[in-house]
């Protein structure tokens, strides 16, 4: 693994540091190593969904009951989830971080995958703040995302530009 990579251990450390209790998620091609780490942690509950929009209402329910959930999905699923993000997260003032796999991200902006083309435009249209992380040295932005979510009581997105760097090793 390149030293420029974002390691799943780093992501996991950030999650623990910020008190995440539950991860509501749907696998994408980049997060399998993180899944194995999460699964091995007895203090973390994983709630798998069959469609990304479902994760929003589950997250809202967990928050209503006093847990600190995080969502882990891919940008394609985020695009599909627009109305659920609006209604169940933004509408209910749920302070949650969404870790979003940035499929198609190329850093230089010449995309061949429209999932990447519309990702940041979608977030700007919904007025959802976002941070981009590409390697371990960016990981403190995850904590900044949690802080911003708590401060604004709104969802904040962390875009994981992992396809470029091989997050999945």
Partner 1 sequence: MMHTAELLQVFAAHRGDAIVISGRGGKQWLQISDTALDLPLGDPAMGGHSGFGLGLALAQPDKRVVLFDSEGDILMSLGQLATIAEQAPANFYHFILDNEVYATTGGQPVPGAKTVDYAAMAKACGYPRAFSFSDLADFKRELPAILGAPGPVFVALKVLPEVENTPIGQRVRWRKRSSDKVVSDARAALGVG
Structure tokens, 126 = 């919904």
Closest CB 71 distance from partner 1, rounded Å: 12
The residue range among 11-19, 62-70, 104-112, 157-165 that interacts with partner 1, by the rule CB under 8 A, is: 62-70
How many C-beta atoms lie closer than 10 Å to residue 12's C-beta? 18
Size of the chain in residues? 169
The residue range among 41-49, 103-111, 117-125, 126-134 that interacts with partner 1, by the rule CB under 8 A, is: 41-49
Task: Specify whether the CB–CB gap between 105 and 68 falls below 8 A.
Answer: no
Q: Return the residues of window 87-146 that contact partner 1 according to CB under 8 A.
A: 87-88, 91-94
41 binds partner 1 (CB under 8 A): no
84 binds partner 1 (CB under 8 A): yes
CA distances (Å), origin 149, targets 49, 93, 146 = 23, 10, 5
What's the DSSP call for residue 14? H
22 binds partner 1 (CB under 8 A): yes
69 binds partner 1 (CB under 8 A): yes
60 binds partner 1 (CB under 8 A): yes
Q: What is the SS3 assignment for 47?
A: strand
Torsion, CA 73, CA 98, CA 87, CA 66, rounded to 10: 120
Q: What is the SS3 assignment for 102?
A: coil
Closest CB 21 distance from partner 1, rounded Å: 9
34 binds partner 1 (CB under 8 A): no
List of residues contacting partner 1 (CB under 8 A): 22, 24, 45, 47-51, 53-67, 69, 83-84, 86-88, 91-94
């Amino acid at each position: 693994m390149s030293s420029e990579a974002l390691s799943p251990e780093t992501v996991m450390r950030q999650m623990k540091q910020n008190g995440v209790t539950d991860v509501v998620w749907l696998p994408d091609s980049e997060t399998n190593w993180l899944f194995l780490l999460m699964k091995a942690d007895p203090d973390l509950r994983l709630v798998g969904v069959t469609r990304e929009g479902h994760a929003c209402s589950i997250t809202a329910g967990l928050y209503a009951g006093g847990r600190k959930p995080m969502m882990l999905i891919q940008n394609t699923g985020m695009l599909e989830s627009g109305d659920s993000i609006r209604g169940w997260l933004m509408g209910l003032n749920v302070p949650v971080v969404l870790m979003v796999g940035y499929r198609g991200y190329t850093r230089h902006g010449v995309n061949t995958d429209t999932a990447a083309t519309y990702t940041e435009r979608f977030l700007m249209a919904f007025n959802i703040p976002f941070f981009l992380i590409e390697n371990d040295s960016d990981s403190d932005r995850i904590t900044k995302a949690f802080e911003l979510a708590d401060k604004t009581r709104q969802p904040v997105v962390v875009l994981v530009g992992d396809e470029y760097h091989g997050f999945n090793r």
